[in-house]
Amino acid sequence: MRKFNFSAGPAALPEAVLLQAQRELLDWGGRGCSVMEVSHRSPEFTEVAETAEQDLRDLLAIPQNYRVLFLHGGATAQFSAVPWNLLGGGDRVADYIRSGHWADKAIVEARRYGQVNVVASSEDRGFTYVPGPTSWRQSENAAYLHYTPNETIGGVEFDYVPAVTCPLVADMSSNILSRPVAVEKFGMIYAGAQKNIGPSGLAVAIVRDDLLDRALPGIPRSLNWKVAADAGSMDNTPPTFAWYLSALVFKWIKGQGGVEAMAEQSLRKSSLLCGFIDRSDFYSSPVERGSRSRMNVPFTLADAALDHLFLQESKAAGLLNLKGHRSVGGMRASLYNAVPVEAVEALLVFMAEFEQRYA
């Protein structure tokens, strides 16, 4: 019997997708072999790749002047790829919003290749809020502005898209496909697959055509978006199984009603959990209201000495991976698209019973 998985990533996948992959693992489409055992250049896998791209285009209404890339290395590789690909157009200054752990990682990498201007930071209150645009200090001629719409560890999420004149770059690893996105407002969007798309090891990138010729000299071939775009993401052997599973997830999201349905469900799940926490004297949220993530909900217990017992008993109750990140502590429930409302309802029952016993 499957349990409810609140892992921050690699995260839960839709059960229907896992069951289909299980059925096809040894005999994919009647071919007598696995999808992992066929050439990525075969007509059969080319169809998977093309269908995956079209389904993602449909889900996010991606304009035709954007390329969709399926890349190696997850989002972390894109921390380097972004400056490599965008700082060669002249001005080597990049603007970054510092909103937490993953924004910090991106900033460290960008400083290897050019000057970074931190437009705004929420460090002053422990990265517990989204910095508002009134406090920004933007560069006059930035090559791009990078931000992290959802911080998985801190549990903060932007409720707006920054308005900038330079290309806007977003690391949407933990909230992509959870609500509609106006892609035309962005120069580039990237996302590690292992939260709302598929298994780890794959990153999806959406790049506007005019940004494919701005790379720094000497850019590694494996990080060059133009090389990937020209080769249909197959300059070398791609992570085919991750691509295949992602294609199944895109179909599943379509079947659920698309990103509009995911947005409605995300709001319902996070509202249930955050509302319960706010009504409790035993649990509390470290994130300021108005900045709370719909995807990742951190919370603490009134007595941290009970943390281990909470994790022990929640696991026994079939509620998995609720431990907070090691840098933050406490608990964290990640509510990605594949986590059903029933999982949150079960978590609330457990939290209420735990509070009654130990408060």
Catalytic residue among 28, 84, 102, 243: 102
Cα Rg of the chain, angstroms: 21
Catalytic residue list contains 195: yes
Angle, alpha carbons 151-155-160 (nearest 5°): 65
Catalytic residue among 28, 171, 225, 252: 171
B/e letters for 55-81, b = 16+ CB within 10 Å, e = fewer, are bbbebbebeeebbbbbbbbbbbbbbbb
**Which DSSP symbol is given to 239?**
-
Catalytic residue list contains 243: no
Nearest to 58 by CA among 240, 316, 318, 250: 250
> Cβ-count burial of 298 within 10 angstroms (0-12 exposed, 13-18 middle, 19+ buried)?
buried
Assess contact for 265 and 177: CB atoms under 8 A: no
DSSP, collapsed to helix, strand or coil, labels residue 266 as helix
Catalytic residue list contains 3: no
Number of other CB atoms surrounding residue 252 within 10 Å: 18
Assess contact for 213 and 185: CB atoms under 8 A: no
Catalytic residue among 28, 84, 95, 195: 195
In 3-state terms, the chain is what percent helix, strand and coil (to 5)?
Answer: 40, 15, 40
Residue in the structure block whose two tokens are 């839960």: 12
DSSP, collapsed to helix, strand or coil, labels residue 115 as strand
Assess contact for 167 and 211: CB atoms under 8 A: yes
**Which DSSP symbol is given to 123?**
G
Question: What is the distance, to the nearest Å, from the Cα of residue 52 to the centroid of all Cα atoms in its chain?
Answer: 18
Assess contact for 74 and 268: CB atoms under 8 A: no
Q: For residue 271, what are the CA distances in angstroms to 51, 223, 300, 333, 335? A: 34, 39, 17, 13, 11
Residues with a catalytic annotation lie at: 102, 171, 195
